[in-house]
């Protein structure tokens, strides 16, 4: 298993990240405040079509 499951759906997290970004925060700022890796925040800030889908176990 790769990582822990999300606490909220990625669409909600992406919307929150975009709202924070519109206030002037960078991806690095958001990551530091939330305690996650900046890479995860940057992935959420990508358009939904550009975000990789998580594979479900068979």
**Residue 58 falls within a domain, yes or no?**
no
Q: Could you tell me how far CA 12 lies from the centroid of its own chain?
A: 9
**Residue 32 falls within a domain, yes or no?**
yes
**Residue 17 falls within a domain, yes or no?**
yes
**Residue 4 falls within a domain, yes or no?**
no
For the entire predicted model, the pTM comes to 0.67
pLDDT mean over 28-35:
91
Domain span at residue 20 reads: 10-49
**Domains in the chain: how many in total?**
1
**Residue 2 falls within a domain, yes or no?**
no
**Residue 56 falls within a domain, yes or no?**
no
- Predicted confidence band at 11 (pLDDT cuts at 50, 70, 90)? confident
**Residue 55 falls within a domain, yes or no?**
no
**Residue 18 falls within a domain, yes or no?**
yes
3-state class percentages of the chain: helix first, strand second, coil last, to nearest 5: 55, 0, 45
Judge whether residue 2 has pLDDT over 60: no
């Amino acid at each position: 298993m790769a990582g822990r499951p999300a606490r909220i759906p990625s669409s909600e997290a992406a919307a929150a990240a975009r709202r924070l970004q519109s206030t002037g925060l960078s991806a690095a700022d958001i990551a530091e405040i939330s305690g996650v890796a900046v890479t995860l925040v940057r992935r959420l800030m990508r358009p939904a079509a550009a975000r990789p889908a998580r594979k479900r176990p068979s």
